[in-house]
Structure 1
Amino acid sequence: MIQQLYPQVQHNYQFELNKDMHIAAAHFIPHEDAGKCQNVHGHTYFINITIAGDDLDDSGFLVNFSSIKKLIHNRFDHTILNDHTELFSKDDPNYFPTTEGVAKAIWEVVQKELDTKANKPKCVQVFVRETPTSYVVFRPKYKEEKQ
């Protein structure tokens, strides 16, 4: 079991769920300033995904926990992140598979799936721990919804 406290994101939704998981994946950073990280190397990433919303779906879930794990774990576990060229770039530093880039890519994958749900939940935070001493939090900037 993963025992971890995560930074909290402020929101006005009634429900918040958090899904923890880990993936084993390799990557390299295609830039000379990355030093040794220019070489292919791996991590066991610890990931927490925070989803919030006001409405439950027809089965009583905001989102089914298992669907979030399948969406991320099945896609990225035991892969080379750079090979996911639909998410990562070898030329654009905004899309390098750094910890920041991994957190943003996970958010993009999750939110794309959530956008298909009738209850319209939002992914409000993705936490990615790359090493025991280093992590990134990605929080999207949502525009206020007019009521």
Structure 2
Amino acid sequence: MLQQIYPQAQHDYQYELNKDMQFAAAHYIPSEKAGVCQQVHGHTYFVNVTIAGDELDETGFLVNFAKLKKIVHGKFDHTLLNDHASFDDQNKEKFPTTEVVAKTIYEMIQKELDELPNKPKCVQVFVRETPTSYVVFRPKKEKKSW
């Protein structure tokens, strides 16, 4: 596997875990402005997720790598992304663009992490759609209300 350098997510946690994975999927962008991407076409998506936290679980993991792969690869591999309930051809905020795919992966992972007793956080999702194009999604930090 080719070593990849990813942008760094800034955080104050003690542990940081990164998991690389890939999945093959097709999609289309239902907008005339998408040009040729209006047509169904496929990609091999390369994904890196960054998980951070201060506490390890009972097995000494921040989170099990296999759990992360199951969440992403298990859901999207060899599918038409437009067929997933996570995406909506009627709402531009839910078209299966690389940006929306990255945000959706974040939401799926964080939902699972919120159920863990050690409460790790997904701090970054990197999705490469082509050799020359990628998106980084980072959740906004919660603002403190005084």
User: Shared fold by TM > 0.5?
Assistant: yes
Letter in 2 for 1:123: C
- Residue 113 of structure 1: CA displacement? 0.3
What are the superposed Cα offsets for residues 74-107 of structure 1, whole Å, 9 maximum, x if unpaired? 110000001112x111111111100001000100
Q: Alignment identity in percent?
A: 68
In the alignment, what sits opposite 2:126?
A: 127
For the residues of structure 2 that align with 1:40 and 1:59, how far apart are their CA atoms? 43
Q: Tell me the distance in 2 between the aligned counterparts of 1:69 and 1:5.
A: 20
Aligned residues, how many? 145
**Secondary structure in 2 matching 1:30:** coil
Q: Is 1:79 equivalent to 2:63 in the alignment? A: no
Return the alpha-carbon distance in structure 2 between the equivalents of residues 18 and 2 of structure 1.
15
- 1:104–1:138 CA contact under 8 A, matched in 2: yes
Q: What pairs with 1:10-49 in structure 2 (closer than 5 Å)?
A: 10-49=10-49
* Over 2 Å off, 4+ runs: none
Structure 2 stretches lacking a partner, 5+ long: none
Provide TM-score, normalisation by structure 2: 0.96
Alignment of 1:101-120 (within 5 A): 101-120=100-119
- Compute the displacement of 1:144 (Å): 5.7
1-structure distance, mates of 2:94, 2:113 = 22
Letter in structure 2 aligned against 1:45: Y
Gaps of 5+ in 1: none
Secondary structure in structure 1 of the residue aligned to 2:13: coil
Do 1:28 and 1:41's aligned partners in 2 also have CA atoms closer than 8 Å? yes
Name the TM-score, length of structure 1 as normaliser. Answer: 0.95
CA offsets 1:1-44 (integer angstroms, 9 cap, x no match): 24210000100000000000110000000111001100100000
RMSD: 1.3
Correspondence list, 1:56-75, <5 A: 56-75=56-75
Amino acid at match of 1:27: H
Cα distance change of structure 1 residues 36 and 128 upon mapping to structure 2, 3 Å threshold:
same
CA contact (8 A) 1:2 1:20 kept: no
